[in-house]
Structures are given as C-alpha cells and as structure tokens.
C-alpha cells in the first residue's frame, strides 16, 4: 500500500504543484527564511516526477529491445504499484502481446505462402543486385539440379551460359537457356520482374521447364494423328477384308487365280488390321489406378518375367533397391509394361554375342524425395541422332519393330504424373533409362 502511494504519479504531481505555489508565495512576500526549505521540497518533488518519467521511459525502451530480439516472454508486474503505474505496465504488456500476435500471424502467413510456392510447377528465384539468393522454391532447385543455392556463381559449375543468363537478364525480358546435367538436356524459359525488398532492389526470376511443355504438346499431337490414321485405315480395310471373305464363301468354284487373289487380299487385310490395332494401344492407355507397392518385390518379378520372355545366358541382371522397403505409389500393372519393355530392349541391345552382358535394375530416392527407377545396360550406346527421336511414335531401328514401345512407356509415365528419360554415357559405356515418380 505504501509502495503504491510512493509510486503514485498523482501524489508526485500534487507535491510539485504545492511546492511550486509555496515557493512562489515565499518569494513574492520576501519570506526568505522559508524559501530555502520550500525550494528543497520543490526540487525533491521535481526529481521524483522526473524519476518516475525516466523509469517509465526505461520500461518502454526495455520492451522494444526485447521485441527487437524476439523475446516476448517478459511481462511487467502490475501488483503492488500505484494505479497509474499499474496502468502503464498493463498497457505495455498489452502492446507486447499485440506485437507478438502480429508477428506470429506474419510467420504463419509466410509459411503458408512458402508452402504454396513450393507446390507450384514454376521455379522461383529472388536475387539481389550482387547475385545473392534471397529465396528459392523446390521446383527451382529441382530444375537447376541443386540442393543449396546461395549465389548465382554456383550456376557456373553447371553451365557458364546458364550463369550469364541468370546474372544478366533484365526485368521484362524473356529468355531461353539450355544446359546438360545428370537428367539430360534441360531447356528452360526465363522471365524476370523486379521489386524492392527490405529497401533492396531484387529481381524475381521465373523458370519453366520447356521440355515438359513440348512433350505434352507433342504427345497430344501424335495421339490425335494416330487416332485419325487408325480410324481411316480401319474404315477402309475392314470392308475390303470382309468382302473378300464373302466372295470366297459364295463362289467356291471360282477360278484358282481369282481365289488366290481373294485369299491374298483377305490375309493382307487381316494383317493390316492387326498392325493398326497395335498402334491403337498408344491412344487407348487405361486411366492409371495407383496403389502402394514394394519396389523390391516388383523388381524381382520384373527380372523373372524378362528372363521368361527372352533367354540370354550371357546376360547378368542385377537389382539394387535402396532402401529395401522402398514403396512407390503408381499403377503397378502399367509400370510393369514400362519396366518389362525396357528390360526386353536392354536384352535385345546386348544380344547373344556379347559375353559380359550386364543389366542393372536400380531404385532409390533422390534429394527431392522423388523415387527413381533406372534400367541400364552395357550394350552398344544409342547414337545421338537416334536418341533424339527414340520416344517418337513409330520410330524404330529394330527390324520388324513397331516403334511404339517407348512412346507407350512415355505416355504411361505421363499419365502417372512422372517422366522417362534416356541417359547415354560414353564415360561408363552404359545406356540408362530413368523413370521418375515425383
């Protein structure tokens, strides 16, 4: 109670007013004997008011220092003080709580926007004028093949042209840049805008994978073309085949040459219909029904199926799944078609004559937590001029091949939300197909 009275601002101001009036009265009436004690009381009252003011100022300064250091745990005591001092402490505590809540909301919104940023399919880089990276998202790191990105100079290790483009591109400009990494050749479109961030000029660079956009359009074009061709061919060939069989059944005693001709027309028509039906598979892939399945058991089954279809005693097939309990979420039946086709192709590429034939079926997760399944072989490397067209429908270098195996594989991976890529490495003398499941 006494402490509360002592810290009362009202009491201190009242004492200052009383002593000021008393000192003025003594001076005006020449009561010099009373002037000195009254003046001392006035000075003491003024000091008490100043001390209280300084104490409250120190409270405010301490509060802002604590907030500046992100310390919101402190709280001013409100009991045992005067009503005025209690009001000041409660007000400062309330300000601290409001600022704490505002910062917590800002952090939550920042995490929310960061989460959204990491789910978009566009790579985002925020770069200052010195080349320092303020912010990136997961897609940008994936496209550039980096795990940590702090300065533009790091791009020089990947490709000098990429570093120069990112460093020099100006706001409003649009560029395209290509470089090669472990995923193959990457084509990026680069767009730039600018803004001020914390009083610093920064550029916001958007990166998009042109490969995926081109692949989507190319596959859609091939599907439309194949559907038109198969429709027209079937409409033309089916009546001819049916008519030739009808004529053969009606005119059993027809001239032998005519009969042979009709039989040739019928058999050729049936072969052509079967041929067209194989291409229909490219445009009528069923919608994937994804489930979780263990890659290790899947890999063992793929090796058994591949050996059943093709017997190559000179070829060793090795599986490597890390970790052993790796699980993928996809349509197992459709992925079976893809992997089995890649294993068959690898066996056919090696052939019977190469004594040390080797195929590896490998599965693992990368730093972006995507699941990768690789099928590699040590057979003859695919020439670059053929590698450019290997996923195009109807393109084949094998005698009697249809040219739709790899194009169907790419279509299945596309529908599954993944991708397939070819890596031909002269250094290791291996050809590798990589299936990526995000």
What pLDDT does 1 receive?
45
* Cβ–Cβ under 8 Å, residues 346 and 282: no
Mean pLDDT on 176-198 = 77
Within a domain: 114: no
Identify the weakest region by mean pLDDT among 150-154, 244-248, 276-280, 304-308.
276-280
Return the SS3 of 168: helix
Residues 400 and 426 in one domain: yes
Within a domain: 112: no
Give percent above pLDDT 90 in the chain.
12
Q: Which residue has the higher pLDDT, 407 or 375?
A: 375
Q: Which residue has the higher pLDDT, 213 or 57?
A: 57
Mean pLDDT on 218-231 = 59
Of the ranges 289-298, 351-360, 384-393, the best mean pLDDT one: 289-298
Residues 224 and 155 in one domain: no
Return the SS3 of 171: coil
Residues 330 and 427 in one domain: yes
Within a domain: 367: yes
Within a domain: 53: yes
Residues 86 and 177 in one domain: no
Residues 148 and 260 in one domain: no
* Cβ–Cβ under 8 Å, residues 14 and 49: no
Mean pLDDT on 57-82 = 68
Q: Which residue has the higher pLDDT, 425 or 345?
A: 345
Q: Which residue has the higher pLDDT, 238 or 370?
A: 370
Tell whether omega for the bond before 323 is within 30 degrees of 0, i.e. cis. Answer: yes
Residues 89 and 129 in one domain: no
What pLDDT does 310 receive?
67
Residues 326 and 424 in one domain: yes
Distance CA 438, CA 370 (A): 5
Residue tagged 């089954």 (tokens): 301
Residues 301 and 168 in one domain: no
Among candidate residues 84, 106, 128, the one where a domain is terminated: 106
Q: Is pLDDT at 261 greater than 80 in this prediction?
A: no
pLDDT bin (cut points 50, 70, 90) of residue 279 is: low
Q: Is pLDDT at 304 greater than 80 in this prediction?
A: yes
pLDDT tens digits for range 406-434: 877 888 888 888 888 888 777 778 889 99
The helix or strand, by DSSP H or E, that contains position 360, with its residue range, turns out to be strand 357-365
Q: List b or e across 295-320, with b for residues whose CB sees 16 or more CB atoms inside 10 angstroms.
A: bbebbeebbeebeeeeebeebebebe
Within a domain: 50: yes
Nearest in space to 54 (alpha carbons), one of 20, 96, 23, 12: 12
Q: Is pLDDT at 346 greater than 80 in this prediction?
A: yes
* Cβ–Cβ under 8 Å, residues 204 and 124: yes
The total domain count for the chain is 4
Within a domain: 188: yes
CATH number at residue 159: 3.30.450.20
Within a domain: 372: yes
Residues 243 and 166 in one domain: no
Residues 93 and 39 in one domain: yes
Among candidate residues 179, 209, 239, the one where a domain is terminated: 209
Residues 418 and 318 in one domain: yes
Within a domain: 111: no
Distance CA 232, CA 11 (A): 103
Distance CA 219, CA 280 (A): 14
How does the average pLDDT of the chain come out, rounded?
76
| Statement: the pTM of the whole predicted model exceeds 0.85 | no
- Domain of 393 in residue numbering reads as 291-437
Note the Cα 365 to chain centre separation in Å: 15
Residues 306 and 417 in one domain: yes
Mean pLDDT on 183-190 = 75
CATH number at residue 389: 3.30.565.10
């Amino acid at each position: 109670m006494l402490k509360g009275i002592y810290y009362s601002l009202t009491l201190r101001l009242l004492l200052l007013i009383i002593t000021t009036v008393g000192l003025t009265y003594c001076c005006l009436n020449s009561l010099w004997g009373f002037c000195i004690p009254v003046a001392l009381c006035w000075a003491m009252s003024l000091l008490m008011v100043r001390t209280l003011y300084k104490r409250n100022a120190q409270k405010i300064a301490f509060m802002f220092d604590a907030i500046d250091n992100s310390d919101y745990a402190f709280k001013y005591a409100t009991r045992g003080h005067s009503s005025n001092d209690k009001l000041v402490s409660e007000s400062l505590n309330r300000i601290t709580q409001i600022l704490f809540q505002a910062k917590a909301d800002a952090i939550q919104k920042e995490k929310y926007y960061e989460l959204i940023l990491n789910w978009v399919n566009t790579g985002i880089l925020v770069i200052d004028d010195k080349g320092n990276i303020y912010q990136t998202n997961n897609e940008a790191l994936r496209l550039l093949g980096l795990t940590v990105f702090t300065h533009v100079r790091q791009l020089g290790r990947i490709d000098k042209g990429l570093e120069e483009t990112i460093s020099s591109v100006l706001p409003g400009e649009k560029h395209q840049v290509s470089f090669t990494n472990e995923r193959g050749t990457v084509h990026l479109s680069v767009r730039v805008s600018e803004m001020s961030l914390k009083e610093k000029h920064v550029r916001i660079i958007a990166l998009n994978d042109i490969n995926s956009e081109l692949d989507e359009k190319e596959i859609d074009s091939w599907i439309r073309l194949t559907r038109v061709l198969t429709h027209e061919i079937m409409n033309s060939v089916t009546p001819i085949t049916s008519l030739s069989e009808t004529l053969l059944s009606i005119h059993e005693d027809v001239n032998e040459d005519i009969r042979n001709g009709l039989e040739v027309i019928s058999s050729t028509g049936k072969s052509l219909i079967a041929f067209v039906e194989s291409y229909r598979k490219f445009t009528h892939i069923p919608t994937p029904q994804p489930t979780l399945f263990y890659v290790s058991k899947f890999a063992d089954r793929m090796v058994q199926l591949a050996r059943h279809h093709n017997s190559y005693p000179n070829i060793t097939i090795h599986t490597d799944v890390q970790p052993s309990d790796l699980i993928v979420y996809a349509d197992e039946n459709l992925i079976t078609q893809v992997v089995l086709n890649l294993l068959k192709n690898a066996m056919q590429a090696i052939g019977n004559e190469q004594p040390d034939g080797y195929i590896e079926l490998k599965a693992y997760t990368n730093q972006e937590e995507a699941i990768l399944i690789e099928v590699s072989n040590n057979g003859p490397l695919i020439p670059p001029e053929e590698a450019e067209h290997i996923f195009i429908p109807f393109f084949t270098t094998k005698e009697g091949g249809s040219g739709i195996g790899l194009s169907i594989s790419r279509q299945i991976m596309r529908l599954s939300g993944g991708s397939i890529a070819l890596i031909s490495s002269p250094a290791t003398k291996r050809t590798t197909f990589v299936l990526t499941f995000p």
